[in-house]
Structure 1
Amino acid sequence: MGAGSRDVRAVRAVRDADVPGARELLHAAFRTDPVSRWIFPGEEHCETWHPLLFSAFLEGARRYGTAEMTADGTAVALWFDTRNEPPGLEETGELLGGVDPANPRVHGIGETTGGIHPHEPHAYLQALAVRPGLQSRGIGGALLRLTLDRCDKEELPAYLEASSARSRAFYERHGFALRGAPLRLPDGGPPMWPMWREPGAGGATGV
């Protein structure tokens, strides 16, 4: 790891007692993200509904995928292994049903990204969050590497949609490459970058 980075080998599954802290961390890390602000325009709108959206994402990962966090609670990652049965429309609708019901963008984001989601078996990273103020210290990169190392051992590709130019550059440093053209969200929404990583693609460590 680089200077100033943390050792995140002490990682555990998000437990019931961890849920409030993990939810708050996800909200804090993504509340200024371009896609989050497109879904929930306006400060009050965002502060009201954005935590519930990431609460649904967290619950989905705990039920159907993997929700892992560092022992000190500074970072959390939500993954899905598509070799297992992924959540379908019914399960997704159940999780998102109480999130800003009058806002079509809540469900629209899933429908838009779902239309380009790869069909090959892969590990899907839905969210990687590091507490604001502790970003750019290698914590997120080190947590990411733990799963990417497992992917390499199992010869499993990884996939994600980067929601900002900054996150796109971060994932490129970890061996991800663009997969097709950027996805532009409707109604003047921001771009998203589909990114794919072949097993053994390498990449930086702890950045």
Structure 2
Amino acid sequence: MGVGIRTAGEGDRELVTRLLDEAFQGDPVSRWIFPDAAHRGSTHPRLMGMFLDIVLAEGRVDVTEDGAACALWLSVPAAADGDHADEGDGPAQLRAAVDPDNERVELVGRLTDRAHPVGRAHEYLWLIAVTPDRQGEGLGTALMQPVLDRCDRTGLPAYLEASSARSRELYERLGFVFTGRTVDLPDGPPMWPMWREPQGEPEGESQDAPRGRPQS
């Protein structure tokens, strides 16, 4: 039986924020950002809500019809090396809005921005979440597959950062490949930047390896 998927809108903000919060409360990166469980319980939903607002404004949010899973996608345009290395101060603004005294909110944004490939247009899977009691049912794959199929048809790569070894294995099954350099959070868990070339590209199509953003 297929999984019904729809595009989320502003009216789904409470539903999707709650879903993101529940799915990522135990995630290694979320636990690193908010090591105190009580503080994480009260502040983590605010961070997820801010992430969601960015994608609602600039990208697309897919959600299953039953509200059990969601995926946040951004379409990243082609750019020359260095074009986005200094594009505003989003990580600092996010920290100020979510948890001003917590430098880790800002740092994780800066480190992932620095690792994000430049050069080729691609689809960026910012977050994907499945409610804890439905994990392992294939909902994440079902959410991703239509976008990956479209990438294959149009010759567009895709990118994400895996935040756990388990999720990395899932993405590898979908054709993503580790770019070769982890995002290392100080005294925290690694993140694995992963890139997926469109499957079945015509022979002769350029498949230059993505390049990380320059250190600055």
Unaligned runs of 5+ in 2: 201-216
Residue aligning to 2:197? 198
Q: Which SS does the other structure have where 2:53 is aligned?
A: helix
- Aligned equivalents of 2:61 and 2:94: distance in 1? 16
Counterpart in 1 of 2:182? 182
| 2:28 alignment partner in structure 1 | 34
Query: Could you tell me how far 1:42 is from its partner in structure 2?
Result: 1.3
- Check the 8 A contact 1:100/1:106 in 2, yes or no: yes
Residues 51-200 of structure 1 mapped to structure 2, 5 A cutoff? 51-83=45-77, 88-90=87-89, 93-94=92-93, 96-119=95-118, 120-186=120-186, 188-200=187-199
Query: CA 1:96–1:147 in 2, change beyond 3 Å: closer, same or farther?
Result: farther
- What is the TM-score when the length of structure 1 is the normalising length? 0.88
Cross-structure match for 1:7: 2
Q: Secondary structure at the match of 2:115?
A: coil
Distance 1:129 1:54 in 2: 11
Structure 2 distance, partners of 1:83, 1:116, is 16
d(CA) in 2 for partners of 1:26 and 1:50? 9
Q: 1:70: Cα distance to partner?
A: 1.1
Over 3 Å counting, the alpha-carbon distance change for 1:77 and 1:84 in structure 2 is farther
1:179 offset after TM fit, Å?
0.3
Letter in 2 for 1:197: R
- For 2:105 and 2:94, locate their aligned partners in 1 and report how far apart those are by CA, in whole Å: 11
Report how far residue 16 of structure 1 moved. 2.1
**Conservation of the 8 A alpha-carbon contact between 1:157 and 1:199:** yes
Matched AA of 1:199: P
Query: Post-superposition shift, 1:97?
Result: 3.1
Q: Distance in 2 between matches of 1:93 and 1:105?
A: 10
Number of residue equivalences: 195
Distance 1:91 1:191 in 2: 22
Distance 1:110 1:98 in 2: 14
RMSD of the TM alignment (CA)? 2.1
SS at match of 1:133: helix
Asked if structure 2 preserves the Cα contact closer than 8 Å seen for 1:75 and 1:129, the reply is yes
Name the residue aligned to 1:204: none
Alignment check: 8 A CA contact 1:56 1:96 kept: no
- What is the TM-score normalised by the length of structure 2? 0.84
